Structure 1
Amino acid sequence: MAGASDGYHPAATIPTEREDPDVTERLPYGSWPSPIDAATVARHDGTPNWPEALGEEVWWTEGRPEEDGRVALVRSRLDREDPPQTVLPPPWNARSRVHEYGGHPYALLADGAGTAVVFSEYSDQRLYLYSPDSGGEPTALTPVPEIPGGLRYVEPVAGPRTGEVWCIRETLTGPAPTDVARAIVAVPLDGSAAEDPAAVREVASGHRFLACPRLSPNGRRLAWIGWNHPDMPWDATELRVADIDVQGRAAGARTVAGGPREAVVQVEWANPDRLYYVSDPEGWWNPFRLTIGPDGDTVEPLGPVEEEFGGPLWQLGARWLRPLPDGRIAAVHGTASTRIAVTEPRSGRFFDLATPFTEWSPRLTLAGTDRSTIVSIAASAERAHEVIAVQPDKAAWRSLSRPGGDTADPLAPYLSAPRPRVFTCRPAAGGEREVHAVVHPPRNPAASGPDDAAAPYAVWVHGGPTSRAPMVHDLEIAYFTSRGIGVAVVNYGGSTGFGRAYRERLRENWGVVDVEDCAAVAGALAEEGAADPARIAIRGGSAGGWTSAAALASTDVFSCAAILYPILDLAGWRNGETHDFESQYLESLVGPWPQTRERYEERSPVNRAASVTAPFVLMQGLEDAICPPVQCERFLERIAALAADGKGVPHAYLTFDGEQHGFRKEPTIIAALQAELSLYAQVFGFEPAGGPPVLELRP
């Protein structure tokens, strides 16, 4: 077994729940002093992502809130325990805008000086080639688009021919958000396409949306995933396979898996005639093996099990599954939480690897000269997201992003101990259903609340809505729980991780099921005495902002709301006020347009402003192309009209220059957290440690 001398830790079990020291002082909830201030949260917001390896080198991206929110490229090595090195200097920003949510933005290539990287630069969305060990600046590989940022690239991989990278290209063709074309293209590495757009060769197309281009090991076949409106990639996709002809284009493309009500979300080659893919024909994303033979294709399920080996393709490049060189398969799987596993050679069954991490991201890559080391992003309630290398045969793991980072975390005593819970929702229409949630009770080693009072709580609503809130180390949550405000994160009906039936509960019921589930969790916490029923907030961003606003407009459960970059007007959002990727998402979430137009209008908070009586704060990035500021502005016009009639509700509206969908800059993160805490302080009736409220609420 690997020892401490090589940086690897022996296999570990999940740690037991922490025990607090004796509490020293009883203070009102919300006023507890905490070392986790907004600046601390902002500095820790640079979660690593997108690991990739070439030999002993492992690279990843890393957000830098303190550097204007840019995404840096960082690298380390398996054969040394050196601190991670920032490879891409500021102001370079490795971030793609394909689908606006982006995805894997770079590829590693061997060159004479060491390792070179091809990456998508955020400012102009062009591809650049950079050799950090040979000096110099990145050089452009793709042309300047006619529309600024109008040629976008994602998921680059080394092409089958020397001197090319293949990737997905998104082309903006006109002024409307839906004026878009996509294709898999080959980009030459000699820079010729920077001046001659015709040097970029189209390899494959045929669907409105494309994902996961994968070349077979011998470079003779290409596999990819495609889908069309009105489907989203978790509704229905097709897995396509084609030969590569002498011109370097896909020829004879055919569909080998997927179709109506089946969503293939990943594909990987094991050898030139065998590939593995993840799909959900039986309602759970499970792995399958497809063998291409002279007499036809053979498909074999690796299961089936009622667990998820896949998830929603919000960003392109996710990898839940990875074939190992020895024929085994590595996988990320689970339901409410995720684990890392490998198959046993004889039985083919998956066996979990023992580590202290309870959440593994679908970012699997293989590292080392023999590609036997598995690398991904992992976290737990105790540890923030890290780049982790696992040696399955030695039952050992090692952190690459925090080498030697097992020293005591001074903030650990202030982190809430999250508890997975299953609640029951009993809607007015009858029946009952299970609702999954993660509850983070207030926790502070130096304070507790009064004996005669229950804690205030904030119900957090994740975005998506086809997504999931993981149970991990989260300083943003700890910012509130360490001050005496509990947080309940609801994986409401429509969330992923619990099978297709659970995520399809939201079909044509967005603004109904999600609101009911959040209200049910709030009511249950109040009924069991954990939460003060008069002091429960709701909070969410994007789709979570929609649910938060809809809850204020349709229930009296919540005392206030923090609503971040929301959808507030369904009809407007459906008809040109969002990007192409989600432009027909509401066809499934609400109903076909325009046949169900009345439903769109009835559920929209913008049309129910008179029903909003609880205070709220709206926060919005001014460069948001997904949920644009016009949605907030239209809603606030209705609120202002009510105020003019003496029916105003206390509220505030904060806007942030240079922010898109989600806040990335340190000053924005700080301002948003302080504003939210101030809202709670004024509504719940406490004075935060360190000073009075800073947010001005006006009718």
Structure 2
Amino acid sequence: MTDSLAPYGSWKSPITSDLIVQGTVRLGEIRLDGDGIYWSEGRPLEGGRSVVVRRTPDGTTTDITPTGFNVRTRVHEYGGGSYIVADETAYFSNFADQRLYRQAVGSEPQPLTPEVDLRYADAVIDRQRNRLICIREDHTNSEREAVNTVVAVSLSNDSPTAGEVLVSGNDFYSSPRLSPDGTQLSWLTWNHPNMPWDGTELWVAEVKETGELGDRHLVAGGLTESVFQPEWSPDGVLYFISDRTNWWNLYRWQNGQVEPLCEKAAEFGLPQWVFGMFTYGFDHDSLICTYTEDGIQHLARLNTQSLELSEIETPFASIGGIQVGAGQAVFGAGSPTTPGVIARLDLKTGQTEVLRRSSETEVDPGYLSVPETVEFPTENGLTAHAFYYPPKNRDCQAPADERPPLLVKIHGGPTAATSATFNLGIQYWTSRGIAILDVNYGGSTGYGRDYRERLKGNWGIVDVDDCVNGAKYLVERGEVDGDRLTIDGGSAGGYTTLAVLAFRDTFKAGASYYGVSDAAALAEDTHKFESRYLDGLIGPYPERQDLYRERSPIHHTDQLSCPVIFFQGDEDKIVPPNQAEKMVEALKAKGIPVAYVLFEGEQHGFRKAENIKRSLDTELYFYSRVFGFELADPVEPVEIANLPQ
């Protein structure tokens, strides 16, 4: 058909917010049990409820979790490791009461733990002693910081029990794993102010016949070595991932010695933001593993005898959450042009089968922008990384003398990363004529520990510089309009958004999603897991209050001169609403155009379909008003203070 001539931003797109939320699910934790494959689905149309789904060999899928239950734990607030399955019985944490439940397939859930303020995650089953071993987070004493321990929860008791403490004394624990013969338990631990990607310790202890732990041995790790995913092989050898050589590479421990398995400038590990993260599993004499190289994820087989690594070809650019067993590998995956899926790889034939799609929506490739991997110059003679998505719509073109607006997207964390995985939320913008630069600024993962540590003491500096330099790079290439640069981000990405707008004059508008505006307030009022995170990103608090004030956008609204919109959940415990509200009031008082959208019942990140839709459309509406372009479709307006009609 003939292209329609329309300004950038005004292109009519079939990728609507309704399309994005209707029938779209968040595919999560995968588990294998016998010939059954299980995964979790977060469903926006069910209020964000998370459900465990079972697939049998004949292809039948069934919801295991009954109505009224939501499989999600709040340990560390971010959760993960919310369920396991053994012998067709699921053991899961329920979001509403945070109790552990046991549910035989086809039966009603039965509580294992009492109705007190305890949270559980990351369980393994101890068959010999008929119990679960897991992480417990104790919130029963509001006068003290939550207490994290490794506990054993009996499966024999008729009445709920809180669990018996096996390991205690440190601030954090994760990844309890039993050896195949049940005689050894391994776990990870770390203390404030470290985060798990800064430094963790891997310990192993003897498990006595009584279930108590005996002699303990430090295997690896320390204050400056991050150990990830300890796992016992079927023959009783302990494997793990460590970044002791700058990159998260594979190792094993046997006969009291640590042996490197595959020295490679690639990341086999991930930042432990949540529990239950898996990047490898065992298949006879091999590891089936995933790794990230130059921002792209790969699947490979590592022979544990010859230590030869061979890549397994797949159609995917991102692979995660892998589970291996019974001649198959099952994992979450995505590519730049197709929605995320649960995929199964037959390890004998090499054939890949898609088991579940996050969306059944079919989008014509003519509306899809394929990302370009970009490496651009930044401060101190260094380079940074991003994915660039040019505008794309088969039905529309802009006037020849016009350049598109650019929306720079900033991932959260900040110790995290973005990828080239298909994202309808990005295609929503590019199909309307707005270019996207998705930035992996210094501090992001996937590029080695040195790159990750660029942000040490420099949050609000390195990330800001990289986002500004990425945008300028595209302007200099002639790709985008330097007078219509916008930026958005959520959580830590929201902080960087506000910092960019306060401390630089490159961007003309921005959107903060539950972002930090006052770093000191975050240091004083957040949950345990991140309560000392800023020590490494900025400096110790309150000793370096000067730095916190210097880096906090709330104290520099006099330097902010462009419109901003804020999105916030009213139940956010990680970044409370007052972080946004103080900023909104300051901008109103200064006469800067500002809008504020508060979502009832939402926490740190939006899970309800109507709120996901509303935030996306409202951000677009906001930019249309700021830059004066007409929208192709009507959008419910939002009140924008100080914006002339």
Same fold (TM over 0.5): yes
Work out the CA distance in 2 between the residues paired with 1:250 and 1:688.
64
* 1:262 counterpart = 2:225: yes
Relative contact order (alpha carbons < 8 A, sep ≥ 6): 1 or 2 greater?
1
Q: In structure 2, do the counterparts of structure 1 residues 191 and 386 end up closer, same or farther at CA, with 3 Å as the change threshold?
A: farther
Counterpart secondary structure, 1:635: helix
Cα distance in 2 between the residues matched to 1:670 and 1:219: 48
How much has 1:392 moved relative to structure 2? 2.4
Q: Distance in 2 between matches of 1:119 and 1:270?
A: 25
Question: Is the aligned partner of 1:105 residue 2:82?
Answer: yes
CA distance in 1, matches of 2:11, 2:353: 36
Partner of 1:54: 33
> Hey, what's the Cα distance between the residues in 2 that align with 1:503 and 1:621?
29
Q: In the alignment, which residue of structure 2 is the partner of 1:509?
A: 458
Paired position in structure 2 for 1:9: none
1:668 matched to which residue of 2?
Answer: 611
Residues 239 and 258 of structure 1 are in contact (CA less than 8 Å); yes or no, is this contact kept in structure 2?
yes
Aligned twin of 1:7 = none
Counterpart contact for 1:687–1:693, Cα < 8 Å: no
* Alignment-derived partner of residue 111 in structure 2: 140
Change beyond 3 A, Cα 1:89–1:377:
same
Cα offset for 1:590?
Answer: 0.2
- Describe the shift of the 1:231–1:45 C-alpha distance in structure 2 as closer, same or farther (beyond 3 A): farther
CA distance in 2, matches of 1:692, 1:341: 46
Partner of 1:310: 269
From 299, 304, 323, give the equivalent of 1:365: 323
Question: How big is the shift at 1:143?
Answer: 0.4
Partner of 1:621: 569
Aligned with 2:400: secondary structure? Answer: coil
Tell me the C-alpha RMSD between the 2 structures. Answer: 1.7
The yes-or-no answer on 1:424 pairing with 2:377 is: yes
Q: Match of 1:515, SS?
A: helix
Question: Could you say which residue in structure 1 is the equivalent of 2:587?
Answer: 639
Aligned position for 2:94: 121
How far, CA to CA, are the matches of 1:449 and 1:267 in structure 2? Answer: 53
Partner of 1:16: none
C-alpha distance in structure 1 between counterparts of 2:549 and 2:267, whole Å? 35
Task: Show the counterpart of 2:439.
Answer: 490
Aligned pairs for 1:101-500 (under 5 A) are: 101-110=78-87, 115-133=88-106, 135=107, 137-145=108-116, 150-175=117-142, 179-190=145-156, 192-194=158-160, 196-197=161-162, 200-271=163-234, 273-291=236-254, 293=255, 297-324=256-283, 326-335=284-293, 336-344=295-303, 347-361=306-320, 363-367=321-325, 371-402=326-357, 409-426=362-379, 431-500=380-449
1:31 aligns with 2:10: yes
Q: How many matched pairs?
A: 641
Equivalent residues of 1:675, 1:694 under 8 A apart: yes
Q: What runs of 5+ residues in structure 1 fail to find an aligned partner? A: 1-21
Q: Distance in 2 between matches of 1:606 and 1:410?
A: 41
Percent identity, aligned pairs only, is 38
Q: How far apart, in 1, do the equivalents of 2:18 and 2:496 lie? A: 28
1:42 Cα offset (Å): 1.8
Aligned mates of 1:23, 1:32 — CA distance in 2: 14
Local SS of the residue matching 2:549: helix
Matched, 1:64 2:35: no
Q: 2:472 and 2:357 mapped to 1: Cα distance?
A: 41
Deviation at 1:247, TM superposition (A): 2.3
Q: Distance in 1 between matches of 2:27 and 2:226?
A: 27
Counterpart amino acid of residue 512 in structure 1: I
**1:273 Cα deviation (Å)?**
4.1
Residues of 1 paired with 2:610 and 2:370: CA distance? 28
In the alignment, is the contact (CA less than 8 A) between 1:262 and 1:281 conserved in 2?
yes
Provide Cα deviations, 1:526-558, integer angstroms capped at 9, x if missing partner: 111111011110000000000000111011111
Report the Cα offset of residue 562 of structure 1.
Answer: 0.7
* Superposition deviation, residue 206 in structure 1: 3.3
Counterpart residue type for residue 354 of structure 1: E
| Matched position secondary structure for 1:302 | strand
Q: Deviation at 1:209?
A: 0.6
Judged with a 3 Å threshold, the aligned counterparts in structure 2 of structure 1 residues 191 and 564 are, in CA distance, closer, same or farther, namely farther
Q: CA deviation at 1:44?
A: 5.2
How far did 1:638 drift?
2.5
Q: Please tell me the residue identity of whatever aligns with 1:247.
A: T
Task: Provide the C-alpha distance between the structure 2 equivalents of 1:490 and 1:206, rounded to a whole number of angstroms.
Answer: 39
1:662-696 CA distance string (max 9 Å, x none): 00000110110011101111122211111267122
CA distance in 1, matches of 2:159, 2:460: 47
Q: Displacement, 1:365? A: 1.2
1:306-340: CA deviation from partner (whole Å, max 9, x where unpaired): 1000010000110112122x121111102301111
> If the length of structure 2 is used for normalisation, what is the TM-score?
0.97
What letter is aligned with 1:32? W
Checking the alignment, whether the CA contact within 8 Å between 2:194 and 2:223 is kept in structure 1 is no
Moved more, 686-695 or 653-662: 686-695
Per the alignment, do residues 346 and 447 of structure 1 end up closer, same or farther by CA in structure 2, a change over 3 Å counting? Answer: same
**Structure 2 contact 129–211 (Cα < 8 Å) conserved:** no
- Alignment check: 8 A CA contact 2:6 2:398 kept: yes
Q: Residues 23 and 280 from structure 1, CA distance in 2 versus in 1: closer, same or farther, beyond 3 angstroms?
A: farther
The Cα offsets for residues 145-183 of structure 1, whole Å up to 9 and x where unpaired, read as 0xxxx211111221143532221111114336x611111
Please give the alpha-carbon distance, in whole angstroms, between the structure 1 residues aligned to 2:363 and 2:585. 46
Deviates more, 1:389-398 or 1:261-270: 389-398
The secondary structure found in structure 2 opposite 1:401 is strand
CA contact (8 A) 1:238 1:257 kept: yes
Whether the 8 Å CA contact 2:53–2:63 is kept in 1: the answer is: yes
Counterpart-to-counterpart distance in 1, 2:548 and 2:363: 49
Specify the SS of the correspondent of 2:397: coil
CA contact (8 A) 1:128 1:138 kept: yes
How many Å apart are 1:45 and its aligned residue? Answer: 4.4
* 2-structure distance, mates of 1:45, 1:611: 40
Match of 1:545 among 482, 485, 494: 494
Contact 2:328 2:347 in 1 (8 A): yes
Q: Secondary structure at the match of 1:638?
A: helix
1:23·1:445 contact (CA, 8 Å) conserved in 2? no
Give distance in 1, aligned partners of 2:454 and 2:443: 5
Which one-letter code corresponds to 1:393 in the other structure?
A: K
Question: Where do 4+ consecutive residues of structure 1 move more than 3 Å?
Answer: 190-193
Q: Do the aligned partners of residues 257 and 667 (structure 1) sit closer, same or farther apart at CA in structure 2, a change above 3 Å counting?
A: same
Match for residue 70 of structure 2? Answer: 93
Residue 652 of structure 1 deviates from its aligned partner by 0.6
Structure 1 counterpart SS, 2:567: strand
Q: CA deviation at 1:253?
A: 1.6
Q: Which amino acid aligns with 1:182?
A: N
Q: Is the 8 A contact 2:391 2:430 kept in 1?
A: yes
Deviates more, 1:533-542 or 1:23-32: 23-32
Where does residue 14 of structure 1 map in the other structure?
none
In 2, are the aligned partners of 1:381 and 1:418 still within 8 Å (CA)?
yes
- Which amino acid is 1:257 matched to? A
Contact 2:563 2:592 in 1 (8 A): yes
Q: CA deviation at 1:272?
A: 5.5
SS of equivalent to 1:385: strand
TM-score (norm: length of structure 1): 0.89
**2:22 matched residue in structure 1:** 43
- Structure 2: runs of 5 or more not aligned: none
1:610 to 534, 558, 567: 558
Q: Which letter maps to 2:597?
A: L
